[in-house]
Structure 1
Amino acid sequence: MEVWERAALLSAKVNCSLRSLWDPGFRDQIARAGASMLNNIAEGLSQESLMERNRFLTIASLSCSQLQACVHRGGDLGYFEKNQVADWFAETHEIVVMLGDLSDT
């Protein structure tokens, strides 16, 4: 599914940019947000019940919002370049919109 692929690519890009970061708490937080987003998308898309599907997709959307907040904070802390922050912020927004569209079906 396209939303999972986009989320996986974004999560990988963010994690790769953090390999040499000295802040383990921030690195763990952003990695967990990305992993949670991916896991909940996969779980949601595998559900037969619409209610369960929507529940997992909502959790994925919240995890994506957490990733978005971490990206913003990382930009403020100087961990990411401004263009990276803008690109990743836009991508997280698109993923949240896609998850919302999936929840409506």
Structure 2
Amino acid sequence: MSGKRFEEMEVWQMAQDIAFSVYSDFKEVRDYGFCDQIKRAAVSVSNNVAEGAERQTPADFARFLDIAKGSCGEVRSMYYLAVKLGFVEPSIAELRCAHCESISKQLAGFAKYLRK
């Protein structure tokens, strides 16, 4: 839909990076419900970019980018909780949340472009 393969998109690559970070950050945490939720949210970001890129219309793609953006927000929310629960250091959470905010801005801009 965008003219390039999703694998070539910087925002998809960044989303893969945040998912990798989530898996790394929580590999020792034994709260499986928490870990499952944050991992699913993180993986959802890049998967929704990929799925949207394979759709037939810009409007469909933009809708999937919106869903990916929502998942970014969920990852951020869970990092704040992870700090309160003592699962990660505040400095790590701050770094990951900044990464998510950067992804969210790109997703929002891309969706806006597709809706024009």
How far apart in 1 are the matches of 2:80 and 2:55? 32
Secondary structure at the aligned position of 1:80 is classed as: coil
- Identity value in percent: 31
Q: Which amino acid aligns with 1:5?
A: Q
Equivalent residue pairs, number = 105
Structure 1 or 2, whichever has the larger Rg, is 2
Q: Name segments (4+ residues, structure 1) moved above 4 Å.
A: none
RMSD over aligned Cα, in angstroms? 0.9
**Does 2:38 align with 1:30?**
yes
Deviation per CA, 1:13-39, whole angstroms, max 9, x where unpaired? 111121111100000000110111111
Structure 2: segments with no counterpart, 5+ residues: 1-8
- Identify the residue that residue 77 of structure 1 maps to in structure 2: 85
Structure 1 length-normalised TM: 0.95
Structure 2 length-normalised TM: 0.86
- Identify the residue that residue 45 of structure 1 maps to in structure 2: 53
Deviation at 1:104, TM superposition (A): 1.3
